[in-house]
Amino acid sequence: MSGSNAQDTQILTTQEVAEILRVHRATVSRLAMSGELRSYLIGSRRLFKATDVWLFFENQVDRRYALGKEA
């Protein structure tokens, strides 16, 4: 895997993702189980790639403000 960033990817727990997104762990679990937030199951543990968490976050932009239209 030389030249790959796979080894540089940070793996996060549900609790760590909740802290990053400033939401409850149950919210992270719901987002993961619905497929909105990509996650991985290793045994009974649900894990997340940091890059997936930040991609999810970037996709949550409030379109009303992004387009200059306040509701």
Does the residue 55 lie in any domain?
yes
Would strands 45-49 and 11-13 be described as parallel, antiparallel, or unpaired? antiparallel
Does the residue 26 lie in any domain?
yes
Q: How far apart are CA 23 and CA 17, in angstroms?
A: 8
Does the residue 61 lie in any domain?
yes
Residue 6 has pLDDT above 80, yes or no: no
Does the residue 13 lie in any domain?
yes
C-beta separation of 49 from 35 below 8 A: no
Does the residue 33 lie in any domain?
yes
Residue 65 has pLDDT above 80, yes or no: no
Residue 1 has pLDDT above 90, yes or no: no
Q: How far apart are CA 26 and CA 13, in angstroms?
A: 13
- Domain total for the chain? 1
CATH classification at residue 13: 1.10.1660.10
Task: Write down the pTM of the prediction.
Answer: 0.79
pLDDT tens per residue, range 10-55: 999 999 999 999 999 999 999 999 999 999 999 999 999 999 999 9
- Its domain, for residue 34, covers 9-66
Does the residue 3 lie in any domain?
no
pLDDT of residue 70: 55
C-beta separation of 7 from 1 below 8 A: yes
